[in-house]
Amino acid sequence: YLVMELCSGGDLRGYINNLQKIGAEIGAKKCWEFVSSIVSAVNQLHIHDIIHGDLKPENVLLTEDIKVKMADFGLSRKLQQGKEYQTYHGGTKFYLAPEIQKDEIDQILTAGKQNQRLPIMRITQTKAVDIWAIGIMLYELLAQHHPFIHSDDDPAGISDIQIAHRIVTEEPSELPSHYPDSLKKLIKAMLQKDPSRRISAKEILSIPEVAANLKRQLSKSIH
C-alpha cells in the first residue's frame, strides 16, 4: 500500500468548475496566491533540471484549506547535464506549448503532402513548456474558459489539429478588464509564443505580488 496525503479540496479543474456553477469569480488576491504556490513548486523542479511536461488543472491538487500540491509526474524528465532541452514524450493537447504544437503540425502536413507515412521526427522541449501550461491554467482561472476555445465552440468537437493550429497562430482573447494589469501582463508573458522570450519561473518569483505572497506563506508556516 502507498499512504498519501489526502487532498480533500479536489483539483484546480473542480475549483474552476465550481466558480462557474455558483456564478462567482476568483479575486485577484486569491489568484496571486495560486500563482505563487504553483510557480514556486514548478521552480523547485526547474532548479533540479526537471520538466514536469503535463501541467493542467487536473494535475494541480488542493488541500482542504486550498493549498496547492502538484501531481502526476509520469511524463516528467530530468535534463541531461549541460543540456537545456529534452525529447518531448507526450502531454495534454490543450496545454501543450506552441513550439511543440508547431513541430507536430509540420510533421503531419509534410506526411500529407508526400502522401506517405514518414518517420516521426524527434520533438524537443525546454522548461518553458511548463510556464506556458501554467499561463493557460491561470487564464482559465480568471476567464473560466480556455484562451483558445471560442465562446461558440463545443470543446468536445474541436480536433487536435484545430486546437494546435489556434495555439500556434492565434492570440488569446483579452482577460476580464477588472483584473489588475500586473496580473494580466504576467499571464501574457507566460503565453509568449517564442519560448526564448517566455518569462521563467525564477523571474516570476521576483514579481512583487508573488514575492509578498511567498513571504506571507513562509511566515504562516513558521508560526
Which residues are identified as catalytic?
Answer: 54
Give the separation between CA 77 and CA 52, rounded to whole angstroms.
7
Nearest residue to 106 via CA among 92, 93, 122:
122
Nearest residue to 57 via CA among 119, 144, 174:
144
Which amino acid is residue 192, in one-letter code?
Q
DSSP 63: -
CA distances from 153 to 34, 137, 138, 145 (A): 28, 19, 20, 11
Helix-, strand-, coil-residue percentages of the chain, each rounded to 5:
50, 5, 45
User: How is residue 79 written as a grid cell?
Assistant: 535534463
Give the separation between CA 108 and CA 69, rounded to whole angstroms.
36
